[in-house]
Amino acid sequence: MTENEHERRMARPRMAAGALFFDEQGHVLLVRPSYKPKWEIPGGYVEAGESPLSACRREVGEELGISPSIGSLLVVDWAPSDAEGDKVLYVFDGGRLGAEEVRAIKLAPDELLAAEFHPTDALDELLIPRLARRVGRAIKARAQAHPLYLEHGQPV
């Protein structure tokens, strides 16, 4: 196999990273993008030369205008898409946001319509199915203090 053939066969997945933030009641912070019909978690795509954790911190800052401490990795999810190609998605633990941090949130006006805390039993209604699975697994991983590897939002 030539080096060029080898290069063509190598995976080049898109990567994205997001964080789960909680309030004092254990509700999850979701954001409502202006360009999608469903809710999301704060985060976005990893840029060239950027680590997933750095991307998560950057995206949270850009979207919410805050710089909370981002904790440990909760989930890595391999999520191929016929429309967008292979993706590797990271979810980190953003921890509990205090009242001052919540008041300090300033939404990126060109990206987000809202940021609200929602109970975990509402996630299936608010998120697309694969993200709901990923977030549900990330919440369980947080409770067990053990990161999970997923494929399509499901443990392998």
For 22-41, what is each residue's pLDDT tens digit? 999 999 999 999 999 999 99
Closest CA to 142 of 110, 103, 96, 102: 96
Residue 1 lies in a domain: no
Residue 2 lies in a domain: no
Residue 10 lies in a domain: no
Distance, CA of 71 to CA of 63 (rounded, Å)? 18
Range of the domain at 70: 16-155
Residue 71 lies in a domain: yes
Count of domains forming the chain: 1
> What are the tens digits of pLDDT across the range 98-107?
999 999 999 9
CATH classification of the domain holding 95: 3.90.79.10
CB neighbours (10 Å) of residue 37? 7
pLDDT of the residue at 118:
98
Rounded to a whole number, what is the distance in angstroms from the first to the last CA of the chain?
A: 31
Residues 6 or more apart in contact with residue 51 via CB below 8 angstroms: none
pLDDT of the residue at 6:
65
pLDDT of residue 90 exceeding 70, the answer is yes
For residues 93 and 9, the model is more confident at 93
> What are the tens digits of pLDDT across the range 109-150?
999 999 999 999 999 999 999 999 999 999 999 999 999 999
Closest CA to 42 of 23, 58, 26: 58
The reply to whether the predicted model has a pTM over 0.95 is no
Residue 4 lies in a domain: no
Distance, CA of 112 to CA of 109 (rounded, Å)? 6
CB neighbours (10 Å) of residue 87? 16
> What are the tens digits of pLDDT across the range 62-73?
999 999 999 999
**Average pLDDT along the chain:** 94
